[in-house]
Amino acid sequence: MARSSSTFDDIKLRWDDWRTLSFPSGISEVEINGIELASIDTFLAGCISVYMENQGKLDQERIRILRNCTNELDGFLGHLGEDTKRYFQELSEISHQILDSVDS
């Protein structure tokens, strides 16, 4: 459950802004440690979409997926160029904010 409506509203605004960003070109098949960035993007976006649809609630399986993918993504960030990093950094921050809200 979300901590407060203001937390949910903040996450929603960030999510709406992030969704206007284009997926970085030239990285659709990039792998780091055997994991494709596009897959991480897909899994995180799916979990975040469910969180939004459920007004700040996630089931335990999606929390696990969100946590694991966010941890993987955080390990990639230092290997990315600036434009790509900006896209994925924001996705990571949204994911952490959601994890904080569902863990409290």
Q: What digits encode the pLDDT tens for the residues 44-68?
A: 999 999 999 999 999 999 999 999 9
9, 40, 55, 57, 97 from 73: Cα distances, Å = 24, 7, 24, 22, 15
Q: Copy the structure tokens of residue 13.
A: 């605004």
How far apart (Å, rounded) are the C-alpha atoms in residues 73 and 32? 10
pLDDT in tens, 17-43: 999 999 998 887 888 778 889 999 999
pTM of the predicted protein model: 0.90
Q: Give the model's pLDDT for residue 103.
A: 78
How far apart (Å, rounded) are the C-alpha atoms in residues 75 and 83? 17
Q: Give the model's pLDDT for residue 57.
A: 95
Question: DSSP code of 22?
Answer: P
Measured at the CA of 101, the angle between CA 99 and CA 104, to 5 degrees, comes to: 105
- pLDDT confidence band for 104 (50 / 70 / 90): low
CB 58 within 8 A of CB 11: no
